[in-house]
A and B are shown apart, each in its own frame.
Chain A
Amino acid sequence: MSLAQQGRRVVLAGLLLLGGVYVRALAFTPAQKIFYLHVPAAVTTELAVILVGLAGVFFLFLKDPRLDRFAEASAEVGTVFAGIVLTTGPIWGKPIWGTWWTWDARLTSTLFLFFLLISYHLLRGAVTDAGLRARYGAVLGICAVVLVGFIHLSVYLFPTLHPQPIVLRPGKPGLPPEMLVTLLLSFGVFLVLYVGFVMQRYAIALRREAASHG
């Protein structure tokens, strides 16, 4: 079975598991239900970008094309998940804050991360030399990791409507157990989807390289 086919199976499993998370979140978990989609998507986006940056750092030293392929795949999947964050966030914010959007530090920097990821793909598409493309991509990926750190700390550094972290913070998570379990299950499902998507995207990059060499 090819890598793309394996990735498709992983994604299919992830989508079925997401159905299970929907049932648990909607029927058996109290209040703030958009939370179970928005937060796991945000954490998976941050994880995807951190992995892009790490792959970039190692690529600059090792020059291994597998790292560049992985970074490209992870950045694309991170862009999709960032799209979910930026869609579910305003839908969640409107009934609670009374506005779809506010230009505070957390929301603006998350939007900026989305644009940075788009520019990552535009940059890669614009550079024809494979070595240069990988090097530029690695540097931009490392810059994106710095932005992820800023996004995480922005709620502590600036006044914002956005709530402070309740799981990824020092000390115990500030959530009732049933909400925490649903959140962790949803995060697990988003991770499965991330892995499946990256496998497929990596296979596409491999295929393109083989086509360009042959």
Chain B
Amino acid sequence: MAEGVPQNAGYLVAAYSVVPVILLAYAVSLYRRSTRP
């Protein structure tokens, strides 16, 4: 493992990726529901 890379970097990346995914998915859902004819 490269020096300076924390051992739990994968968990960090997972957590920091899943939050915007959930938020963006909900934002898109609201947009679609509010613009549905």
Listed in ascending order, the chain A residues whose CB lies under 8 Å from chain B are 4, 7-8, 11, 15, 18, 22, 26, 33-34, 37-38, 41, 80, 83-84, 87-88, 91-92, 94-95, 193, 197, 200-201, 203-204, 207
A161 to B33, CA, bound (A): 40
For A83, list chain B residues within 8 Å (CB).
Answer: 22
Interface of A, secondary structure class, is helix
For A207, list chain B residues within 8 Å (CB).
Answer: 34
Interface of B, secondary structure class, is helix
Asked whether A15 and B23 contact (CB < 8 A) given A37-B16, A91-B15, the answer is: yes
A201 to B31, CA, bound (A): 9
Asked whether A91 and B23 contact (CB < 8 A) given A200-B34, A204-B33, A207-B34, the answer is: no
Please tell me which one of the listed residues A15, A18, A92, A200 contacts residue B30 in the complex, with CB atoms under 8 A apart. Answer: A200
